[in-house]
Structure 1
Amino acid sequence: MTMQVSITARKTIIQGLKLAAGTILAVALSKSLGILSPYATGTIALITLLSSKWETVRLTLYRLLTYFVTVAVSWVVYRLVPLPIVAFGLIMAVLYWLYNAWHLLSTLAVNGVICSHFMTYQDFSPDMILHEFLIVLIGVLSALLINQFYTKRTTERALRGWMAKSDQELVAILERIANHLDEEPAKAFHVTAYEESLTKAYALARDFEENTFSKHTNYYVQYFKMRLAQCHILKSMLWELRRMPMNPKQSKVVTNYIRYLSRYILETNAPLAQQKELEKLMRQMKDEPLPATRQEFESRAYLMHILLDLEEFVACKQHYIDGLSEKQKAAYWRS
């Protein structure tokens, strides 16, 4: 857990410094150009900097384009209702309807700042329109520049550490499941902590993907999504184990397979051999003599469900491997 707290704290500090740098840059540029509301550019930079690097690029384009829509709507509404306070409210309503329909609500706050200036000065001259456009331009470009700074190496190092950790923890969980089938009665356990750890790592992977312009950076997202899917399968297996009345003699075969499977957990392993071994095991189970008692029948039924879970568990890994491009394998499987 220390690794995640460390990277989160570091990212929080860096984000705060980026907000400071972006707003200072925007206000300083505005003052040097004689902008009437220099701190408005800082506000726009602040709002834009709260987005990821990719989102900042998209928002920069959208905010510049919607600026002209805002000017047009503001001018029309103000001509119809020449009461600044009322006009401002009506303009916000119209802009909301438009940008909601266009899925551009993320631009509304910045356009609200611009509209407030037009209502304050009640001036729609070409000079004023250019002046307000510069406010938007300086704000978004300052954010765009500052948001290029991202702790890529630190974040990627943390992600690699989480991958190694998740592999180790998964091996330990499979070993505990195997022990559960060996012992009677067995101690119950949960994978809640493992799931929480994977969820945080997945969030970090999403952040890495959204803030990196490099190719194939969705590799980490795909990996942790696969591990989360496997974790959900493990929860199903544990539910079945807790309800199995007894450990039938066939449990030993399943136990041996789980221990065999745990040796091939690494991210780069394509589980083709493990799939074939599991198919062989399931054929063997079908050839076993019929259960003699109700308790044994129920236990064998739960054991078969566990085998089906293992089949899904292995298929999940194979699906992940199949979904990777050759370029991703070359980039991330160098070792």
Structure 2
Amino acid sequence: MKIGFRTVKTALAVVFSIYLAHFLQLDTYTFAGVIAILTLQATRKASLAAAGKLSLAAGITLLIGSGLFYLLDFRIYVVGLILLLVIPLLVKTGAERGIVLSSVVSLHLFAAEEISSAVIWNEVLILFSGMGVSLLVNMAYMPSRKKRVQEIREKLAGECASLFTQLANHLESEGYIWDGREILSISELIEQGKAEALLNAENAMTRDEINDYQYFEEKEKQFETIKRMLALVSHVQKVVVQGEMLAVMLRKLAEKLGRGKHAELGEMRDEIRVLRREYEAMPLPTTRDEFEIRAALLQILNELESYLLAYQ
């Protein structure tokens, strides 16, 4: 059975937080381990957010709990009354993650049977023992997803290259059949890339890691352009010379994408302008079908130019 890295970090955070609370001679010191579990999250950013919400929950509970126990004495029903007041406040403030913490803090106050600075200070130190150790463990090392993000980027480029090759095949061969596999694959890779990049960005220590998410957002916009091109290509039912000329450009684009020559893609916009002028210099269409096909090809050329704007 394989043990995940997060499981190891959780175990370390629990053990060290309990050791620290015990070293500080705190009452109910084992509760520091529970706080460590509640604080430890998948990313550094999420852990910091969790620590903030837990601190807010503890502060609200200590304030309301101390007041009610002081006024109504240490009776069991007061614990329920505290929770009736605290839980809606936590939900309203977005700190509902701290409901378990608030429940235990209320019970600690009840068990202490006194409201004093020593009791309050004990709860505060337990809280910071658990949170502090958990944050230190999480900050110490967080495995980077950079490699996985790079793999997705490479696969995405390969699938886009394959798709443009398929479009070129359609323009060069009447009746060409394509199963459209690349469309689903590109969509899935973009979603995977955004998810991985977002997790990596929440642990980001450099600007490059944050830019990965923006990269996949740009790919999402490009995918919308590709889908418009697909709709236009479906109107090209005959092989015409203008379509063959566009197919050559699509194959060139596919070759550059497949070989990772992204820096050269921006230069293809000049080639598109040249091809557009060549289209304009050709004789006008003589039939309605030819007119519609050439109009669709011209629109594809415009969409292709929009697609390449990301590489300028």
- Common fold, TM-score beyond 0.5? yes
1:280 pairs with 249, 274, 281, which one?
A: 274
CA contact (8 A) 1:48 1:143 kept: yes
The two structures have a TM-score, normalised by structure 1, of: 0.78
CA contact (8 A) 1:247 1:299 kept: no
Give a deviation string over 1:34-63, Cα, whole Å, max 9, x none.
Answer: 433334322221121124112323443554
CA distance, structure 2, for counterparts of residue 66 and residue 201 of structure 1 = 35
Q: How many residue pairs are counted as aligned between the two chains?
A: 303
Partner of 1:307: 301
CA contact (8 A) 1:209 1:217 kept: yes
CA distance, structure 1, for counterparts of residue 240 and residue 115 of structure 2 = 84
CA distance, structure 2, for counterparts of residue 94 and residue 283 of structure 1 = 67
Partner of 2:233: 241
Instruction: Indicate yes or no: 2:109 matched with 1:139.
Output: no
Partner of 1:196: 188
Gaps of 5+ in 1: 1-8, 319-335
CA distance, structure 1, for counterparts of residue 281 and residue 114 of structure 2 = 87
CA contact (8 A) 2:35 2:131 kept: yes
Check 1:171–1:94 CA distance in 2 against 1; reply closer, same or farther (3 A cut): closer
CA distance, structure 2, for counterparts of residue 76 and residue 178 of structure 1 = 75
Partner of 2:177: 187
Check 1:41–1:176 CA distance in 2 against 1; reply closer, same or farther (3 A cut): same
Q: CA deviation at 1:312?
A: 1.9
Runs of 4+ in 1 over 6 A off after TM superposition: none
Check 1:77–1:93 CA distance in 2 against 1; reply closer, same or farther (3 A cut): farther
Q: Which amino acid aligns with 2:10?
A: L
CA contact (8 A) 1:81 1:87 kept: no
Check 1:278–1:69 CA distance in 2 against 1; reply closer, same or farther (3 A cut): same
Give a deviation string over 1:157-177, Cα, whole Å, max 9, x none.
Answer: 333333333323322222222
1:91 pairs with 86, 92, 97, which one?
A: 86
CA distance, structure 2, for counterparts of residue 159 and residue 23 of structure 1 = 31
Q: CA deviation at 1:207?
A: 1.5
CA distance, structure 2, for counterparts of residue 183 and residue 113 of structure 1 = 72
Q: CA deviation at 1:206?
A: 1.7
CA contact (8 A) 2:44 2:202 kept: yes
Which is further off, 172-181 or 227-236? 227-236
Q: Which amino acid aligns with 1:85?
A: G
Gaps of 5+ in 2: none
1:298 pairs with 292, 307, 312, which one?
A: 292
Give a deviation string over 1:231-254, Cα, whole Å, max 9, x none.
Answer: 332233223323433343311121
Give a deviation string over 1:81-128, Cα, whole Å, max 9, x none.
Answer: 66221232222223333x24xxx5555554454344335545431111
C-alpha RMSD over aligned residues: 2.9
Partner of 1:324: none
Q: Radius of gyration: which is bigger?
A: 2
Instruction: Indicate yes or no: 2:118 matched with 1:127.
Output: yes
